[in-house]
Amino acid sequence: MTQREAPEIDFDHHSQEYGRDPWAANLDLIKRCPVAHSSHHGGFYVVTGYEQVADVARRTEVFSSAHELPNTPGRPQGTIIPATTFRALPLEMDPPEFLGWRRALNRFFSPTVARQLRPRIQAYATWCVDQFIEKGETDLVLDLAGAVPALLTLDMVGLPTDNWRLYAEAVHSLAYTPSGTPEYQQVEIGFGMLLKEVQETIARRRANPKEDLISFLTQMEVDGERIGDADIIAVCSAMIAGGMDTTTALFASAFEHLDRDHAARRRLIEEPETVPRACEEFLRYFTPVVCVGRTVTRDDEIGGFPVSRGERVLISWAAANLDPEVFPDPLTIDFDRDTRKHAAFGIGMHRCIGRHIAQTDFEVVLTEVLRRMPDYRLVEGAAERYPTVGQINGYVKMPARFTPGPRVGPDVANAGDLLPDLKLDL
């Protein structure tokens, strides 16, 4: 029996058209063609149905996450389409190599570590809100949603927090600027500055280790051998990009929804125990990491459609989270929904290693906002979404106003003065 070719569609996840309403576009693809092919960005298969997405994500022997540099057509090009010039570890690895790295890194990103970090996250959230609470106005992205994840991520990695605004902007721009464009070259320069600081810190931590990620990596062994500087930089690159921008995007989307849905906001204020469930439903609906790429390692098939070795595949977590076969009435945000199967953190062995910390971050910051500025309102027409949601679905800015309140935290000028050195029980 001859296999059918996947339908050809005009789909570009980096286009402004897709960015205007990715929910409608994803739902249409699921219903019309859960597996299709697009000629954009050198050509790739688009996989949107939950069953098909899960199948690709779990078959790592066929659909590779690996990234070989320099990028070469037909060879593994990592998890972003079009491919970037950075390699993120261990995300862009395949088993068996991936498994050794994941086991070694799990200690630093465990649920226990997330619980230990909660007071630290609370201190950063309190400090950030203190900076604007007396004014009655702020930018929820620039001053809070981007600030807390940036401060926490830099702190955990082992970098100074003084330049968090500069680095947060570099990471956000990296998320919404398509690779291969002139604009992306400038973004790479900013992100490269951040990685240069990582590189300079590695030598200091080898000589004088602390309890941050860079120190941990300088001592980490995979298969009995210490990892090198280039691999440490690649791990930190993934941690910084994932830790900053994905959580920022989730915060911003939740703030925007609660600005419109007053009943949902009132429920979270009156029932704070609902916040963790709300987090899971926001993750499903506002999936921050929209999609990831894979490279086909041998001739095979997806949902009955043939794919050839070397071809690229884009699996959409955001679309899978809207599949009505798994999530009935998917365009409704329901805090009481069963979200256990949501794909926001991925599916299979490459599931996000930082998910426990991200969830803790979200719960603390959202609770702080609802406690201290429960009547916030977005400035009408002022919020600006990312110009492309091809990688992260987030906001550039989100001005808001609220009833002014008092500062409640310590009176320090810089967030870096808030806390002693990181102490983790690993």
Cβ(25)–Cβ(36) under 8 Å?
A: no
User: Angle at which helices 247-260 and 355-372 pack, to 10 degrees?
Assistant: 40
Q: Is the dihedral of CA 51, 288, 352, 390 positive or negative?
A: positive
pLDDT score of 2: 46
Under 8 Å between Cβ of 121 and 419: no
- What pLDDT score does 68 carry? 94
Q: How distant, in Å, are the alpha carbons of 63, 152, 160, 407, 417 from that of 411?
A: 52, 19, 20, 9, 10
Higher-confidence residue of 182 and 281: namely 281
Bridging pattern class, strands 44-47 and 312-316: parallel
Q: Which domains does the chain have, with CATH numbers?
A: 16-413 (1.10.630.10)
The pair of three-digit structure tokens given for residue 47, joined into one six-digit string: 């996989």
Q: Which pTM was predicted?
A: 0.93
Residues forming beta bridges with residue 35, ordered by sequence position? 47
Cβ–Cβ contacts within 10 Å for residue 186, how many? 12
User: Tokens representing 350?
Assistant: 């490459």
Q: How far apart are the first and last CA of the chain?
A: 55
Residue 217, pLDDT > 70, answer yes
Give the CA count within 13 Å in the CB-facing half-sphere of 3. Answer: 13
Residue at 250: amino acid letter: L
E strand spans, 125-214: 137-139
Summarize pLDDT for 222-232 with one digit per residue, the tens: 888 899 999 99
| Whole-angstrom distance, CA of residue 347 vs CA of residue 293 | 13
- The torsion region of residue 212 among left (phi > 0), alpha (psi -120 to 50) and beta comes to beta
pLDDT value at position 301? 97
More confident call, 215 vs 167? 215
For the stretch 241-256, pLDDT in tens is 888 889 999 999 999 9
Report whether pLDDT(178) > 70: no
pLDDT for res 179: 67
Average pLDDT of span 260-289: 97
